[in-house]
Amino acid sequence: MSENTRVTFPAATGVGSMPGGDAREAAKTVTGSLEDFPHLAELPARGPGADMIGRTAGMLVELYARVEPSGWRLSDRPGRDTRRAHAWLREDLDALEEFTQGYEGDLKVQAVGPWTLAAALELRNGEAVLSDPGACRDLTASLAEGLRLHVADVRRRIPGARVVLQLDEPSLTAVLRGQIRTASGYRTHRAVDRQIVESGLREVLGASGPGPTVVHSCAPDVPFALLRRAGTDAVSFDFGLLTERDDDAIGEAVEGGTRLFAGVVPGTDAALSDPAGSVMGVRTLWRRLGLRPGLLAEAVTVTPACGLAGASPAYARQALAHCVRAARSLADNPE
């Protein structure tokens, strides 16, 4: 993909999770603060089934999961936990639909990507799905089909929206490096081959159909090049975790047409600098890479560093509004 074919996105959005348990209040906050690029809010404070793993497990097709003391485990049939996950998601979608009547524009939905899900979901023997290549393939196929249905449902509910699919992959680097611990905690699972990881991501990203895609990770050492090869249109990351080791990969991503979702606003309650100060690091990075200043607004979407589930409701509203103002500062003063 060349710079000329760069997928365009609005200037600011959220990552996904929000504080509290009121779906209507969360939808009202997100759509009110992010008028050009709202997202489907996730409210993990409600408990199992609203958490990121349980929510995505509830989207799987012909695979089911239940809560065990150790976490989410695959099961033979849908049970109470699956029904709860479906109910929470339906409630969130109903609320979003209510506050997006007549909306036309980009709208983001999030789900856990196949490799973080494989690292977190347990097989019936208690080991991670990651330990079984065949189970990983089945999980990837099930997730892709579930997300196809989910994206189609959102398009039906909000017909004016261009649905953007975001995959959350905070464990991706650990999967690639063989750092995911076994159930005993004494060993780690073998690193997964990069081509297999790339193929699995490509399959699930394809669930967006004609819509754009984003892969999000708030962990260090995001594998930008692998994500680009897998076909994502944008990479979302915690800007504060970048080091100069990432410069070449970021420069290549930008020049190759990949959008950067730069997480520059703290995800938990903090004193916020002026909007221009929040994106100062982005401008500094641009100068260091020798990239054209005018490309900033085309290449960067401003977000919180990670989800806002751990923030207060007041701060979450403030943070989303701050992202919008910081993005405006970046566009107005790219130098």
Q: For 76-133, what is the HEC assignment?
A: CCCCHHHHHHHHHHHHHHHHHHHHCCCCCEEEEEEEECHHHHHHHCECCCCCEHHHCH
The CA distance from 27 to 45, in Å, is: 15
pLDDT of residue 185: 83
Residue entry with tokens 């699919």? 165
pLDDT value for 4:
43
pLDDT at 1: 35
pLDDT, residue 162, reads 97
Helix axes 247-255, 280-289, angle to 10 degrees: 80
Tell me what pLDDT residue 335 has: 76
pLDDT in tens, the chain (335 residues): 334 467 899 999 999 999 999 999 999 999 999 999 999 999 999 999 999 999 999 999 999 999 999 999 999 999 999 999 999 999 999 999 999 999 999 999 999 999 999 999 999 999 999 999 999 999 999 999 999 999 999 999 999 999 999 999 999 999 999 999 998 888 999 999 999 999 999 999 999 998 999 999 999 999 999 999 999 999 999 999 999 999 999 999 999 999 999 999 999 999 998 999 999 999 999 999 999 988 898 999 999 999 999 999 999 999 999 999 999 999 988 77
Query: So what's the pLDDT on residue 3?
Result: 41
Q: Which domains does the chain have, with CATH numbers?
A: 23-332 (3.20.20.210)
- Give the span between the Cα atoms of 292 and 47, in whole angstroms: 46
Distance (Å) of CA 7 to CA 4, 139, 258: 9, 29, 8
SS3 of 195, please? helix
Q: Among candidates 222, 240, 224, 241, which has minimal Cα distance to 232?
A: 224
- Give 228-247 as a DSSP string: HHHT-SEEEEEGGG--GGGH
